[in-house]
């Protein structure tokens, strides 16, 4: 049995490097971008975080912003898992694995974004329980590491198990994956809630210290994740020949529509509170939406960004709530892209940076990522896409039955494989 698994790994390795020209070009492009990111990260290891645009006042920047967005993408897999496994929706059942693979890639990107943000990545081991000093359960960051690794573990297990069973041509035993599916549903909600609590739990940052952050995060996550999957499904269908029904895409569309409306509603609740009952705690929101005047200077780098984000989400919302328009795949795609960019801005930089402005001592400092930071971010995104493409490259042939134990064994030993299956 172990031998079969090793052979599977070897064959998967070979398959990883065989594909069309387009596949090679795509993977090579991603590798180059990821390698550039890796190179700049090595420079950052040598010169320190001085290379970034972060300061003592704005001590988190675009790394943590991307981290926050990606935790949402990872959590969004649950929006496929629930219909597929709880409501036994057959269309979703065919594609749920892609959502989980996206979650795996997103979590790994999250961990990379946390790593590049550390001042001392060489001391990562201090977080290991027993070996180091893991401040659990006091620190929300400790919680975050636990839930992210746990979620990664659960999803790798589910995907690995289901794909390997499919490869062997055997029926998966529900006992080996259903409990993990149930766990993953609760866990998906928890990873994004914990990430929200990371911000919410800070008494000195009124912009974050509001109960609505976790629901907002979930709302935006369940918009962004399925939105990306709608586009990914079309790519898989077109380039890899895997049949994904339009019904699956339209189920996702309904999820995106509902989540986007909820997200916009929560955003408007937050802005109402910030601006109608404007107190000194509203300064961050004022900075975000209108800019701040301090000591005769105007600070408003984020203003165009946040209005772009709001308008993009509104436009996506309008497209989505007009059914005849939203059913057209082109408009659906436009809506998904608009919603994703909008959310990436709103819950990334639009969430992280204003929390630091104005500073607790009342000064105003602005932040803009440097080239190094941008390249490292692009590198991590490229690496994540590389990972996702690679996983799809293996998973799709397995799911289509084109890469299986049987075709290795060949016709001569078909009896043997039947014995296996029995």
Partner 1 sequence: MGGLIMYLYSFAGFPVLVSALALLMCSVSCSSFQNQAAATALYERPQALQPYDIAPVRGPTRALRLHRDGDEYPCTSCHEGFTGDLGQAALEGEHNNLTFNHGLNLRCLNCHNPANPDTYVYHDGSEIPGDTPTRLCAKCHGPHYHEWQIGIHGRSNGAWSAGLGPQTVLDCVQCHDPHRPSFQPIEPEPPPVLTRFDLPARQGHAHAE
Partner 2 sequence: MPNDSDDPSRTGSSSCRADPGQEGMGRRELLKAGMGTMAALATLAGVTAPLLSLRDGPSLDEFLQRHYTQLTPEMMEKILARIEHEIAFRYGVKTSVRDYKPIPDVEFAYALNLNRCNGSRRCVYACMKENNIPLDHPEQAYIRVVELDNDSLDLEEGNVLYNHDQVPQEGKYYIPIQCQQCRKPPCTKVCPVQATWTEPDGVTVIDYNWCIGCRYCMAACPYEARRFNWSRPKFEPEQINPDMGYLSNRIRPRGVVEKCHFCLHRTRQGKNPACAEACPTGARVFGNIRDPKGKINFILKNKRVYILKADAKTIPRFYYFFDR
Q: Which of 49, 188, 221, 230 binds partner 2 (CB under 8 A)?
A: 49
Q: Measured from the CB of residue 36, what is the shortest distance to partner 2 in angstroms?
A: 8
By rule CB under 8 A, what count of residues binds partner 2? 83
Are 95 and 248 within 8 A, CB to CB? yes
Q: Give the range of 5-13, 218-226, 340-348, 383-391 binding partner 2 by CB under 8 A.
A: 5-13
Q: Which of 128, 135, 254, 268 binds partner 1 (CB under 8 A)?
A: 128
Q: Measured from the CB of residue 357, what is the shortest distance to partner 1 in angstroms?
A: 12
Are 311 and 301 within 8 A, CB to CB? no
Q: What's the CA gap between 223 and 347, in Å, rounded? A: 12
Q: Which of 13, 24, 176, 275 binds partner 1 (CB under 8 A)?
A: 176
CA-CA-CA-CA torsion sign (9, 11, 14, 19): negative
**Phi, psi dihedrals of residue 347, rounded to the nearest 5°:** -95, 0
Under the criterion CB under 8 A, does residue 280 sit at the interface with partner 2?
yes
- Cα–Cα distance list, 211 to 199, 207, 216, 269, 284 (Å): 10, 11, 9, 12, 16
Select the binding partner of residue 183 from partner 1, partner 2, none (C-beta < 5 to 8 A, by kind). Answer: none
Q: Measured from the CB of residue 391, what is the shortest distance to partner 2 in angstroms?
A: 14
Under the criterion CB under 8 A, does residue 297 sit at the interface with partner 2?
no
Under the criterion CB under 8 A, does residue 129 sit at the interface with partner 2?
no
| Interacting residues of 277 by C-beta distance below 8 A, sequence separation 6+ | none
Q: Which of 138, 186, 277, 324 binds partner 2 (CB under 8 A)?
A: 138
Q: Measured from the CB of residue 415, what is the shortest distance to partner 1 in angstroms?
A: 23
Residues 4-43 that bind partner 1 (CB under 8 A): 5, 8
Q: What's the CA gap between 254 and 260, in Å, rounded? A: 10
Q: Measured from the CB of residue 172, what is the shortest distance to partner 1 in angstroms?
A: 10
Residues 58-87 that bind partner 2 (CB under 8 A): 59-60
Among candidate residues 353, 373, 377, the one with its CA nearest the CA of residue 287: 353
Q: Give the range of 98-106, 113-121, 173-181, 305-313 binding partner 2 by CB under 8 A.
A: 113-121
Strand partners, 293: 298
3 state DSSP class of 235: helix
Residues 306-365 that bind partner 1 (CB under 8 A): 363, 365
Place of tokens 């799809």: 392
Structure tokens at 221: 């996550």
Strand partners, 208: none
Under the criterion CB under 8 A, does residue 50 sit at the interface with partner 1?
yes
Structure tokens at 407: 């075709």
CA-CA-CA-CA torsion sign (363, 368, 371, 375): positive
Among candidate residues 97, 255, 247, the one with its CA nearest the CA of residue 181: 97
Q: What's the CA gap between 195 and 347, in Å, rounded? A: 12
Site string for partner 2, 219-258 (x = CB under 8 A): -------------------xxxxx----------------
Q: Measured from the CB of residue 374, what is the shortest distance to partner 2 in angstroms?
A: 17
Cα-Cα end-to-end distance for the chain: 15
Strand partners, 385: none
List the beta strands (DSSP E) in 124-280.
none
Under the criterion CB under 8 A, does residue 9 sit at the interface with partner 2?
no
Q: Which of 13, 24, 35, 55 binds partner 1 (CB under 8 A)?
A: 55
Q: Which of 23, 43, 57, 409 binds partner 1 (CB under 8 A)?
A: 57
Select the binding partner of residue 153 from partner 2, partner 1, none (C-beta < 5 to 8 A, by kind). Answer: partner 1
Q: Give the range of 53-61, 231-239, 281-289, 307-315 binding partner 1 by CB under 8 A.
A: 53-61
What is the contact surface with partner 1 in residues (CB under 8 A)? 1-2, 5, 8, 45, 50, 53, 55-57, 108, 111, 115, 121-125, 128, 149, 152-153, 156-158, 160-161, 164, 176, 363, 365
């Amino acid at each position: 049995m172990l031998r079969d698994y090793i052979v599977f790994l070897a064959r998967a390795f070979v398959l990883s490097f065989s594909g069309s020209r387009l596949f090679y070009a795509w993977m090579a492009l991603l590798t180059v971008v990821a390698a550039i990111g890796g190179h700049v990260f090595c420079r950052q290891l040598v010169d320190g975080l001085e290379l970034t645009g972060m300061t003592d006042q704005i001590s988190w920047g675009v790394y943590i912003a991307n981290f926050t967005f990606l935790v949402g993408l990872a959590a969004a897999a649950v929006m496929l898992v629930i219909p597929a496994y709880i409501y036994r929706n057959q269309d979703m059942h065919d594609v749920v694995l892609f959502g989980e693979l996206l979650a795996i890639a997103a979590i790994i990107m999250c961990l990379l974004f946390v790593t590049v943000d550390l001042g001392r990545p060489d001391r990562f081991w201090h977080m290991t329980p027993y070996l180091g000093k893991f401040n659990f359960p006091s620190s929300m960051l400790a919680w975050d590491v636990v839930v992210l690794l746990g979620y990664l573990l659960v999803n790798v297990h589910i995907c690995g198990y289901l794909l390997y069973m499919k490869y062997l041509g055997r029926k998966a035993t529900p006992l080996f994956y259903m409990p993990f599916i149930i766990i993953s549903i609760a866990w998906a909600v928890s990873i994004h809630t914990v990430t929200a609590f990371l911000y919410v739990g800070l008494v000195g940052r009124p912009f974050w210290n509001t109960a609505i952050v976790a629901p907002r995060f979930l709302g935006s996550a369940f918009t962004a994740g399925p939105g990306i999957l709608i586009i990914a499904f079309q790519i898989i269908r077109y380039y890899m020949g895997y049949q994904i029904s339009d019904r699956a895409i339209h189920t996702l569309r309904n999820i995106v529509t509902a989540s986007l409306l909820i997200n916009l509603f929560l955003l408007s609740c937050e802005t109402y509170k910030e601006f109608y009952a404007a107190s000194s705690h509203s300064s961050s929101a004022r900075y975000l939406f209108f800019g701040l005047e301090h000591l005769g200077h105007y600070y408003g780098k984020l203003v165009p960004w946040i209005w772009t984000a709001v308008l993009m989400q509104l436009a996506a919302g309008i497209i989505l709530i007009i059914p005849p328009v939203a059913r057209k795949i082109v408009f659906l795609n436009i809506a998904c892209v608009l919603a994703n960019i909008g959310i990436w801005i709103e819950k990334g930089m639009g969430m992280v940076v204003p929390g630091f402005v104005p500073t607790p001592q009342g000064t105003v400092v602005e932040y803009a990522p440097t080239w190094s930071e941008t390249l490292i971010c692009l590198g991590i995104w490229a690496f994540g896409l590389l990972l996702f493409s690679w996983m799809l490259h293996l998973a799709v042939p397995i799911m289509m039955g084109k890469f299986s134990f049987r075709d290795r064994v060949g016709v001569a030993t078909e009896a043997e494989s039947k014995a296996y299956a029995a």
